[in-house]
Amino acid sequence: MEDLQRSLTVLSDPQKALVRKLCSLGQSHLFAKWPCNTSPTSRRKLATQLQELDEAYADGGLEGYINNAKRLLSDSREGVNPLEGWEPSVPEGERFDLGTKEFEETESAGRPELGKVGFVLVAGGLGERLGYSSIKVGLPTEMATETCYLQYYIEYILAVQVKYGEGKRLPLCIMTSGDTNEKTAKLLRKNNYFGMQKSQITIVQQGQGVPALMDNNAKMVLEENDSSKIVTKPHGHGDVHALLYTHGVAKRWLSDGIEWLTLFQDTNGLAFHTLPLMLGVSKKLDLIMNSLAVPRKAKQAIGGIAKLKHQTTGEYKTLNVEYNQLDPLLRATGNLDGDVNDEKTGYSPFPGNINQLLFKLDAYSDALNRTKGLMPEFVNPKYKDDAKTVFKKPTRLECMMQDFPTILEGEDAKRVGFTSVSADLCFSPVKNATSDGAELQAQNTQPGTAASGEADQFGAVRKILVSLGCHVETASEETYAGIQVVPGPAIVIKPNAACCPGEYHRLFPTPDKVKISANSTLIVRGSEVTIESLDLDGTLVVDADENKSIVVKDKIVKNEGWVKVADDSSDDEIIKMRGYYILRKEADWIEEKNNSCAIL
């Protein structure tokens, strides 16, 4: 210990105190080489990182992290069930089918609320799993317009701002990481914030993560080839709540007249079709938190939303329960059949969570002020031995944003529910490489690739048009890079033309006079565009700037159009992850422009 004390002379007083504290907490192995084998520079580097990690962990610094980890690791080793004593029941919420009276009325009630929403993009990481070298929000949502995800989200916000904001600018907060922060800021600057005012955008950056842990004693891990650096891992997207608190985002938005806050993830091009529907449900049921959900088959490998009541205290909480916990929990509390499908609907009564969340901002902000936005943590070590004493690889503590209801108290804890809509209208994330996606698809699971995400975006718009009464053919299934998709027709309706199913009625006032063939491409941009009658077999682009009107009437389009060409050999990352490119043979254009700007 005396040798270590001499090694501390190069550190600041706070760093010396931290090193001593860590030694008392069982972390002396981090400094074992200091007396003889490390330079002053290396010692200062490690101490500086430890100090940063200590300051970043809001629940008691590194001492709190180590103590929390020891407790959770002990529970994991002993097989403690975190849901012990809780009895599940069907949560409060509403289920909808597109085109029904209930859908239209609820969406209509929610649409005026769009002008009071603040948007929080939980921007994941880099696109490495997809074979993409930059940030995922920079990926194109589809290849017809090549609009990237971040541009699409901002276009949507600007569209609802104009239509429903009553002069108010709607804010966007983006949660980034160390890997994505500068790239996100650069993408925004390069594209002049995609038309949004810079002041509308707040970027909050997650820290470097939390220390990796090597064993049940919560010993932190040094880099294998660099003893001056702690191995860190992501703490999870649950940090978004703490960041919104520490940066004062929720408080500021509330003072600016924002009444709702929605959390959405980085690569789901179907994210906002159902936002006004969610707003309508939240208003009707007076919800503090509303989870967008999808119908879920019993025992399907997706978390189910359940209302839990504690058998001793009587308190309630409505949470996402992992699928492998839900069935045994039901059986243990008197539901002997466990998680089974409802005879009427064919689905489990516990809908599937997709992590798109809507909050009533005043109550949300109150909860943040009381708890600093700290979410409950969990640990998920992979053990090498039956005694659960050795890890296969280092683990860490994590937290999830959907666990927010755990910090609600009293009657507020009961104001949590869901809005359920079929996945083909609201959920198709892009997160997997084609090889992984092909394996998932073979198991009858959504592949989550760039090709499937693009196809599902077109599919959602087709579904909306058909529900209106438009005559839209469906293309035959094709396979690109091992992924089976329905490639068309490719229909892109920009948010300023229609931002939700209810607005399509204005865009297509006489849907029975609209016919679109299976191989067609239709792109529509402009708030004053109306398509009264159209027979499309090919490609048509209708492009109007603000305050410019276009009426498409008795229009027959027949041209060679744009076609997808299979390509498995391209070095272009965007083409490679899809397995095709767009060959633009021929198109008809109808334009009304204020200047030379165009969408392509």
3-state helix, strand, coil in the chain (%, to 5): 40, 25, 40
Residue 561 falls within a domain, yes or no? Answer: yes
Is there a contact between 533 and 515 (Cβ–Cβ < 8 Å)? Answer: no
Quote the percentage of the chain above a pLDDT of 70.
Answer: 99
Element (H, E) at 467: helix 450-468
Instruction: Domain of residue 555: give its range.
Output: 434-592
Residue 138 falls within a domain, yes or no? Answer: yes
Residue 468: name the closest of 407, 514, 427 by CA: 514
Is there a contact between 240 and 120 (Cβ–Cβ < 8 Å)? Answer: yes
The answer for residues whose C-beta is within 8 angstroms of residue 189's C-beta and 6 or more apart is: none
Cα 113 from Cα 164, distance rounded (Å): 8
Does one domain contain both 193 and 324? yes
Cα 358 from Cα 356, distance rounded (Å): 7
Question: DSSP states of 375-405 as a string?
Answer: PPEEE---BSSTTS-SBSS-B-EEE-GGGGG
Residue 480 falls within a domain, yes or no? Answer: yes
Question: Residue 276 has which token pair?
Answer: 């006004």
Which amino acid type is present at position 326? L
What distances in angstroms separate CA 436 from CA 126, 482, 493, 561, one per listed residue?
A: 17, 10, 30, 32
If one counts every other C-beta atom within 10 angstroms of the C-beta of residue 368, the result is 23
Is there a contact between 123 and 137 (Cβ–Cβ < 8 Å)? Answer: yes
Does one domain contain both 119 and 225? yes
The alpha-carbon radius of gyration of the chain (Å, integer) is: 26
Chain centre to alpha carbon of residue 229: 31
Is there a contact between 458 and 522 (Cβ–Cβ < 8 Å)? Answer: no
Question: How high is the pLDDT of residue 333?
Answer: 87
Cα 67 from Cα 60, distance rounded (Å): 9
Element (H, E) at 72: helix 61-78
Does one domain contain both 196 and 328? yes
Does one domain contain both 444 and 534? yes
Rounded (5°) CA angle 566-570-572: 115
φ, ψ for residue 33 (rounded to 5)? -90, -5
Q: What is the DSSP letter of 476?
A: P
Does one domain contain both 241 and 302? yes
Cα 589 from Cα 596, distance rounded (Å): 14
What distances in angstroms separate CA 192 from CA 135, 182, 185, 197, 198, one per listed residue?
A: 18, 15, 10, 9, 8
Does one domain contain both 163 and 36? no
Does one domain contain both 444 and 420? no
217-265 confidence digits (pLDDT tens): 999 999 999 999 999 999 999 999 999 999 999 999 999 999 999 999 9
Cα 434 from Cα 412, distance rounded (Å): 43
Residue 498: name the closest of 252, 16, 155, 113 by CA: 155
Does one domain contain both 448 and 406? no
Does one domain contain both 420 and 472? no
Question: How high is the pLDDT of residue 587?
Answer: 98
Question: How high is the pLDDT of residue 598?
Answer: 38
φ, ψ for residue 71 (rounded to 5)? -65, -45
Element (H, E) at 486: none
Which amino acid type is present at position 261? L
Does one domain contain both 184 and 333? yes
Residue 75 falls within a domain, yes or no? Answer: no
Residue 343 falls within a domain, yes or no? Answer: yes
Is there a contact between 313 and 270 (Cβ–Cβ < 8 Å)? Answer: no
Which amino acid type is present at position 102? E
Question: How high is the pLDDT of residue 595?
Answer: 59
Residue 388 falls within a domain, yes or no? Answer: yes
Number of structural domains (the chain) is 3
Cα 140 from Cα 133, distance rounded (Å): 14
The CATH number covering residue 193 comes to 3.90.550.10
Question: How high is the pLDDT of residue 23?
Answer: 96
Domain boundary residue, one of 373, 398, 424: 424
311-370 confidence digits (pLDDT tens): 999 999 999 999 889 999 999 888 888 999 999 999 999 999 999 999 999 999 999 999
SS (H, E, C) 111-176: HHHHHHEEEEEECCCECHHHCCCCEHHHCECCCCCCCEHHHHHHHHHHHHHHHHCCCCCCCEEEEE
Domain boundary residue, one of 392, 424, 456: 424
Does one domain contain both 400 and 471? no
Question: Residue 451 has which token pair?
Answer: 């090709």
The CATH number covering residue 584 comes to 2.160.10.30
Question: How high is the pLDDT of residue 2?
Answer: 65
Residue 599 falls within a domain, yes or no? Answer: no
Domain boundary residue, one of 424, 455, 474: 424
Is there a contact between 256 and 117 (Cβ–Cβ < 8 Å)? Answer: no
Does one domain contain both 240 and 93? yes
Spans in the chain with pLDDT lower than 70: 1-2, 595-600
pTM over 0.85: yes
Residue 379: name the closest of 396, 400, 393 by CA: 396
186-197 confidence digits (pLDDT tens): 999 999 999 999
Element (H, E) at 368: helix 361-371
Residue 9 falls within a domain, yes or no? Answer: yes
Residue 239: Cβ-neighbour burial (10 angstroms; 0-12, 13-18, 19+): buried
